[in-house]
Amino acid sequence: MKEIKLFAPATVANVSCGFDVLGFCLEPIGDEMIIRKTDHPGVRITKIVGQDLPLVTKENVAGVAAEALLASLDTPYGFEIEIYKNIKAGSGIGSSAASSAGAVFGINELLGRPYTRKELIQFAMKGEELASGAIHADNVSPALLGGFTLVRCNKEVDVIALPTPSELYATIIHPQIELRTADSRSVLKKNIPLSKAIEQWGNLAALVSGLYTNDYALISRSLVDVIIEPERSPLIPFFNDLKDVALKAGALGSGISGSGPSIYALSRGEETAEKVREQMEKVFQPMNIKFNTYVSKINTEGIKIIE
- Catalytic site residues? 128, 181
Shortest spacing between CB 3 and a copy of itself, in angstroms: 38
Nearer to a copy of itself, 88 or 117 (CB): 117
Which of 233, 94, 103 lies closest to 170 in space, CA to CA? 94
Burial of 212 (0-12, 13-18, 19+ CB in 10 A): exposed
Shortest spacing between CB 72 and a copy of itself, in angstroms: 23
Nearer to a copy of itself, 86 or 200 (CB): 200
Under the rule (CB under 8 A), what is the footprint of a copy of itself?
17-22, 150-153, 156, 158, 160, 162, 188-195, 197-209, 212, 218, 221-222, 227
176 SS3 class: coil
Nearer to a copy of itself, 2 or 190 (CB): 190
Which of 211, 298, 306, 300 lies closest to 26 in space, CA to CA? 298
Whether the CB-CB separation of 272 and 136 falls below 8 Å is answered with no
Shortest spacing between CB 16 and a copy of itself, in angstroms: 12
Question: Rounded to an integer, what distance in angstroms lies between the CA atom of residue 96 and that of residue 130?
Answer: 9
Nearer to a copy of itself, 175 or 253 (CB): 253
Which of 283, 274, 276, 232 lies closest to 257 in space, CA to CA? 232
Shortest spacing between CB 84 and a copy of itself, in angstroms: 34
CA angle 171, 174, 179 (to 5 degrees): 135
Beta bridge partners of 9: 30
Residues in the chain: 307
